[in-house]
A and B are shown apart, each in its own frame.
Chain A
Amino acid sequence: MLRLLLALAITLIVAPAAAQDDLQAILQTHAEEVANPGRRSVGALIDDLLASDLPSVPVFLDAWQDREVVRDSRDGRFFIAGDEEDGVVTLLDIANGDEIGTAPEAALEEVRPNGGVRRVIGGALVQFRLSDPDPRARQRALASIARRPDADQIDPLRASIEEEDDAGILAEKERLLNILVARFGATTEDRIAAIEALAGEINPDARAALSEILRTEDRVVPAGEATDGNVAGTLSLPRAEAYGRLVDAELAPPGVSPAEIRDTLLANVEAGAVAGTRLADLDTDTARHAAYERLSETGRAAPFVSDEEIDAAIAAHSFEAVFLEEDEAVIDAARATLGSVERQVALNRAADLGLDALSLASIYFLAAIGLAITFGVMGVINMAHGEFIMMGAYTGYVVQQFVPDYTLSLVIALPLAFIVAAAAGVAMERLVIRHLYHRPLETLLATFGISIALQQLAKNIFGTQARPLTSPDWLGGQLVVNELVSISYIRIAIFVLALAFLGLLLFILNRTRLGLEVRAVTQNPGMAASMGIDPDRINMMTFALGSGIAGIAGVAIGLYAQVTSEMGANYIVQSFMTVVVGGVGNVWGTLAGAGLIGVLQKLIEGMNPSNTLAAQTYMILFIILFIQFRPRGIVALRGRAAEG
């Protein structure tokens, strides 16, 4: 505190020396109120201080509120107490905190304003801070009001609104004023007007204020009797909880728990028996109850409360939630507004969830589209597809080791990842898959062999720990729409990337010679070959394209997740499901599959946010059931091609 004061003092040092005398003079005219302030009498002093318009007033008020002001009993002047050493206290000037002398501790009277006075001082201080020339200081003052809302803050806040020139802070002040008036306003009309002005606010402060107005207290009343106050509703509590509350309210005798029964029985063991029952026979609850009842009949234990008695006691009382707020009109207004606020919040949450789902869907689309193309054209499932994703990510990592500029390295890494993964894909197609045509299940297993070998190779080269792929600064941070809706720029970039590839693929497949040939081979390889298309070349090209896109997806995924040798394996099953759900060999199908899986996963997570494992489980179960109804996916190939 002292350091803060000194810092303040330095800023105030330019104040004219006369001002300090003025402050001391004002204090001297009200010396009694300063030294022995009372809640009622202090008003005049504060008014004088405010009227003086001295810049040093807040410094003094601060010290006063913090009980740091002392009065020198020899001349009656006021000072701020500094460090104390051997009974000698350094005196600081009340106006600027300069050291101006020392005094023996015995000569000083501490000025200790009580709680009520300090609140008045606080109110005056808030006013100063709310009109502080520094906008950041004003924002801090607003934040501190929002943290501890209080009826006394209404007037200073309202006063400061008139002088506010910053539009943002003005809106903030008006919002805060509404919150304060809603909770502490003087008249019902004021409060209702303020509450209604809060409609549409999704800010947590506003919601907290409204739910504070609607706070309830649980009460137990004998059944049939009316409660005084505004009853919010009747509670239905679980049995144990309900009886516990009856016991707490001393409306029922405490029940006897099995542990208490056991302890009581143990305390009354006589010659290997309790109340006539041998210990060895006390191995059921019934036997223990009987023994306990006999003990309580002879007064050696508290009476046993049977289940019937507990039920009867619960039935004889009703448990009600009662509003702490007494004004019914305010409650109704708050309830209505909270309803609309909550709808607004739900809407925004849904929008946020939608954005998440969209970005997840674009990741799945990027990861799966390469798989879908190769699957569609060649009918083979490439289990090593995930490792192409990993290769792309590691390519990005390696590029970053050589090119320190993150933007430049990203520009280099994207095409390089495409080339590396495409080359690996072509090599795999030439060396392995070409020899396994018409044996799709063997292809699946052979590519699995490639997958485990590549994964282990990556582990041997790069180690098991995760490698960072740092995104450039312009991709850091989030696009914040409001308190509830935000999305990180990386996810937007991934979305844009997915869109770009969607467009590119649609263009290649529908507008180029290569695309025509790819579609022909997809539909009927034999017929395509007899028309002069070389299926071998097409297979190689599609494999290069599909793997290359996986490489680029790897860079994109690496930017927001970490690069490990297992990252591909984490996406492969999801990619398969995207392909299978969407329908094979069709860009739109993959898009639909990715969209469905992304939205579904986020939706299930949204319903049960604490448990992503469960969300994934339910999603897979849904997919298994979905396949029952559309075995060929959402966008199914028709005709002969579907038979393969």
Chain B
Amino acid sequence: MADATLTGPATVPPIRRTSTMIFLAALAVFVLLVTLLADAGMISTSTVKLLGKTLCLALAAVAMDVVWGYTGILSLGHMAFFGLGGYAIGMWLMWARTEAIVLADMAARTLPPTPSELQDAIGSQIFGVVGTSDIPMIWTFAHSLPLQLAMVVLVPGLLALVFGWLAFRSRVAGVYLSILTQAMTLALSLYLFQNDSGLRGNNGLSGLQNIPGFETTSQATISIAFFWGSALALGLGYLLFAWVVSGRMGSVLRAVRDDEARVRFLGYHVESFKLFAFTLTAIVTGIAGALYYPQAGIINPNEIAPVASIYLAVWVAIGGRGRLYGAAIGAIVVSLLSNWFTSGGAPDIDLGIYEIRWTEWWLVLLGVSFICVTLFAPQGLGGLFDLLSARRRSGRRASYGPDTGAKRPEEGAE
């Protein structure tokens, strides 16, 4: 394996270990706090759901950071994997719930239903909105939770594997790759918008917040359970990626980001490393999506429109790319702020001649602050922690490498 040729000890920078510990500890404290507050009734179920969803987005952002901040591939299609994960779990949720409803409905009949009658009833329940009752092929495994959980991993993973293999093999890189990934997510969302795509067209899958088998459990309990699940997934995902980006693997990934050609000349199979990073992050993003949508309750093709993936990149950029905690913080801060502003939580400002209503002006503010971050604070929010830890900017004057995705001196920190 190429790794063996890497000289020097594969030391893990201590800051990374410390930062990982601090992040996980902060996450644990946060989870405990939210649980206690929710128990005491201080925060509502919908807030718990919002926080749980935000943690899922943070996990997707961390994955995005690995693929962009560490490997230098600006994927503008990672939310497609997020959505696919959501669709995969949503199919089971919808199927199992509909089955339960149909069974309850048929239990009153004199004749017990045959399997084919059951299928027909479920089919017309689910697909009635798109004018058919036939169950499409892709729902073959929808009755089984384990199989559908496997789909959560396999579908985004396989799509990323095939797409990445095609793209990296022909050395599509830089902005070309970004646009290609954008085209992929656009094609997927357009495909899903069709009624005969088998996933209910623009109706999407709904009622996902009702977990089959837990009909009697209150939404408050379910939301806390999902919040814990999301936090656990974020913690595990963070650990996984911290491990991936440390050590020799991480060094190669960063080297690919900074100067792909040189790494290739050194004898590494660059495509494999890129494909590994792309596929692994796609899988984790899919899992994040599978945890997100049961909390959101509904998924439709709009969720994987190209703009969603750009927002994911925006979160990472604002949080500070190239540091995992930065991505998580960026996603949490921006998506919570966005929620606060758009839901009318922010007080309107009366300027006398014009009243600034934040529901209208939030996107302008986001756009402008995003430009400012890119221009004046390339290290993002994560850069603030450098001040705290009194870490100096690296002494490098020159760029990290000639590649378009490479870091620049002003982004600093390794």
Please report A residues at the B interface, Cβ cutoff 8 Å: 258, 262, 265-266, 269, 279-280, 282-285, 288, 375, 379, 381, 383, 432, 435-436, 438-442, 444-446, 448-457, 459-460, 569, 573, 576-577, 580, 611, 613-614, 616-617, 620-621, 623-625, 627-629, 631
CB nearest neighbor in B for A629: B170
Task: Point out the residues of chain A lying under 8 angstroms from B166, CB to CB.
Answer: 624-625, 628
A191 CB to nearest chain B CB (Å): 45
CB nearest neighbor in B for A623: B183
Beta-carbon contact of A280 and B178 below 8 Å: no
Which of these, A459, A573, A614, contacts B182 with CB under 8 Å?
A: A573
Given contacts A258-B116, A283-B112, contact A432 B375 (CB under 8 A): yes
Task: Point out the residues of chain A lying under 8 angstroms from B378, CB to CB.
Answer: 442
B108 CB to nearest chain A CB (Å): 13
Beta-carbon contact of B404 and A283 below 8 Å: no
Which of these, B183, B193, B399, contacts A438 with CB under 8 Å?
A: B399
Q: Which of B356-370 contact A (CB under 8 A)?
A: 360-364, 366-370
CB nearest neighbor in A for B367: A453
Beta-carbon contact of A265 and B366 below 8 Å: no
Further contacts, 11 of them, CB under 8 A, given A441-B178, A453-B363: A258-B114, A439-B408, A440-B404, A444-B175, A446-B375, A456-B362, A577-B179, A611-B194, A616-B187, A627-B172, A629-B170
Task: Point out the residues of chain B lying under 8 angstroms from A576, CB to CB.
Answer: 179, 182-183
Separation of A268 and B206 alpha carbons in the complex (Å): 41
Task: Point out the residues of chain A lying under 8 angstroms from B191, CB to CB.
Answer: 613-614, 617
Beta-carbon contact of A456 and B172 below 8 Å: no
Which of these, A280, A285, A449, A577, contacts B114 with CB under 8 Å?
A: A285
Interface of B is mostly: helix
B314 at the interface (CB under 8 A from A): yes
Given contacts A279-B110, A449-B367, contact A442 B178 (CB under 8 A): no
**Most A CB atoms within 10 A — which of B110, B361, B399, B405?**
B110
A378 CB to nearest chain B CB (Å): 11
B111 at the interface (CB under 8 A from A): yes
B406 CB to nearest chain A CB (Å): 9
A133 CB to nearest chain B CB (Å): 55
Please report B residues at the A interface, Cβ cutoff 8 Å: 68, 74, 110-117, 163, 166-167, 169-172, 174-176, 178-180, 182-184, 186-187, 190-191, 193-194, 306-307, 310, 313-314, 317, 360-364, 366-371, 374-375, 378, 399, 404-405, 408
Which of these, B113, B170, B190, B371, contacts A627 with CB under 8 Å?
A: B170
Beta-carbon contact of B375 and A444 below 8 Å: no
Beta-carbon contact of B363 and A456 below 8 Å: yes
Beta-carbon contact of A440 and B190 below 8 Å: no
B333 CB to nearest chain A CB (Å): 16
B151 CB to nearest chain A CB (Å): 21
Beta-carbon contact of B374 and A269 below 8 Å: no
B338 CB to nearest chain A CB (Å): 11
Beta-carbon contact of A446 and B371 below 8 Å: yes
**Most A CB atoms within 10 A — which of B111, B113, B191, B378?**
B111
B261 CB to nearest chain A CB (Å): 9
Separation of A279 and B112 alpha carbons in the complex (Å): 7
Task: Point out the residues of chain A lying under 8 angstroms from B310, CB to CB.
Answer: 383, 445, 448
Given contacts A444-B175, A580-B176, contact A450 B371 (CB under 8 A): yes
Task: Point out the residues of chain A lying under 8 angstroms from B313, CB to CB.
Answer: 445
A355 CB to nearest chain B CB (Å): 25
Interface of A is mostly: helix
A288 CB to nearest chain B CB (Å): 7
Given contacts A381-B179, A452-B366, contact A438 B187 (CB under 8 A): no
Across the A-B interface, give the 3 residue pairs with the lowest CB-CB distance, nearest first. A453-B367, A449-B370, A456-B363
Task: Point out the residues of chain A lying under 8 angstroms from B371, CB to CB.
Answer: 432, 446, 449-450, 453
B361 CB to nearest chain A CB (Å): 7
CB nearest neighbor in B for A282: B111
Given contacts A436-B375, A452-B367, contact A444 B170 (CB under 8 A): no
Separation of A571 and B108 alpha carbons in the complex (Å): 55
Given contacts A446-B374, A617-B187, contact A453 B172 (CB under 8 A): no
Task: Point out the residues of chain B lying under 8 angstroms from A459, CB to CB.
Answer: 360
CB nearest neighbor in A for B184: A624
Separation of A424 and B225 alpha carbons in the complex (Å): 50
Task: Point out the residues of chain B lying under 8 angstroms from A613, CB to CB.
Answer: 190-191, 193-194
Given contacts A617-B187, A628-B166, contact A444 B180 (CB under 8 A): no
**Most B CB atoms within 10 A — which of A288, A450, A627?**
A627
Separation of A280 and B405 alpha carbons in the complex (Å): 67
Beta-carbon contact of B178 and A627 below 8 Å: no
Task: Point out the residues of chain A lying under 8 angstroms from B369, CB to CB.
Answer: 449
Task: Point out the residues of chain B lying under 8 angstroms from A444, CB to CB.
Answer: 74, 175, 178
Separation of A410 and B247 alpha carbons in the complex (Å): 63
> Can you spell out 17 A-B residue pairs with CB atoms less than 8 angstroms apart?
A288-B111, A379-B404, A381-B175, A381-B179, A440-B404, A446-B371, A448-B314, A450-B367, A452-B363, A452-B364, A460-B360, A576-B182, A580-B176, A614-B194, A624-B166, A627-B170, A628-B167
Beta-carbon contact of B184 and A441 below 8 Å: no
**Most A CB atoms within 10 A — which of B113, B166, B183?**
B183
**Most A CB atoms within 10 A — which of B374, B375, B378?**
B374
Which of these, B174, B307, B314, contacts A441 with CB under 8 Å?
A: B174
A139 CB to nearest chain B CB (Å): 43
Separation of A617 and B187 alpha carbons in the complex (Å): 5
Task: Point out the residues of chain A lying under 8 angstroms from B175, CB to CB.
Answer: 375, 379, 381, 440-441, 444
Beta-carbon contact of A577 and B363 below 8 Å: no
Task: Point out the residues of chain A lying under 8 angstroms from B186, CB to CB.
Answer: 573, 620
B345 CB to nearest chain A CB (Å): 18
Task: Point out the residues of chain B lying under 8 angstroms from A448, CB to CB.
Answer: 310, 314, 370
Beta-carbon contact of B183 and A577 below 8 Å: yes
Separation of A575 and B35 alpha carbons in the complex (Å): 48
B126 CB to nearest chain A CB (Å): 20
Task: Point out the residues of chain A lying under 8 angstroms from B114, CB to CB.
Answer: 258, 282-285, 288
B407 CB to nearest chain A CB (Å): 9
CB nearest neighbor in B for A380: B175
Task: Point out the residues of chain A lying under 8 angstroms from B74, CB to CB.
Answer: 441, 444
Beta-carbon contact of B111 and A279 below 8 Å: yes
Task: Point out the residues of chain A lying under 8 angstroms from B171, CB to CB.
Answer: 631
Given contacts A456-B363, A614-B191, contact A628 B170 (CB under 8 A): yes
Separation of A613 and B193 alpha carbons in the complex (Å): 7
Beta-carbon contact of B170 and A449 below 8 Å: no
Separation of A207 and B408 alpha carbons in the complex (Å): 69
Beta-carbon contact of A258 and B176 below 8 Å: no
Task: Point out the residues of chain A lying under 8 angstroms from B183, CB to CB.
Answer: 573, 576-577, 620, 623-624
Task: Point out the residues of chain B lying under 8 angstroms from A375, CB to CB.
Answer: 175
Task: Point out the residues of chain A lying under 8 angstroms from B374, CB to CB.
Answer: 432, 436, 442, 445-446, 449
Separation of A283 and B103 alpha carbons in the complex (Å): 13
Task: Point out the residues of chain B lying under 8 angstroms from A625, CB to CB.
Answer: 166
Beta-carbon contact of B361 and A262 below 8 Å: no
Task: Point out the residues of chain A lying under 8 angstroms from B176, CB to CB.
Answer: 580, 627, 631
Separation of A532 and B47 alpha carbons in the complex (Å): 61
CB nearest neighbor in A for B317: A445
A37 CB to nearest chain B CB (Å): 54
Task: Point out the residues of chain A lying under 8 angstroms from B180, CB to CB.
Answer: 580, 624, 627
CB nearest neighbor in A for B178: A444
Which of these, A258, A282, A439, A627, contacts B112 with CB under 8 Å?
A: A282
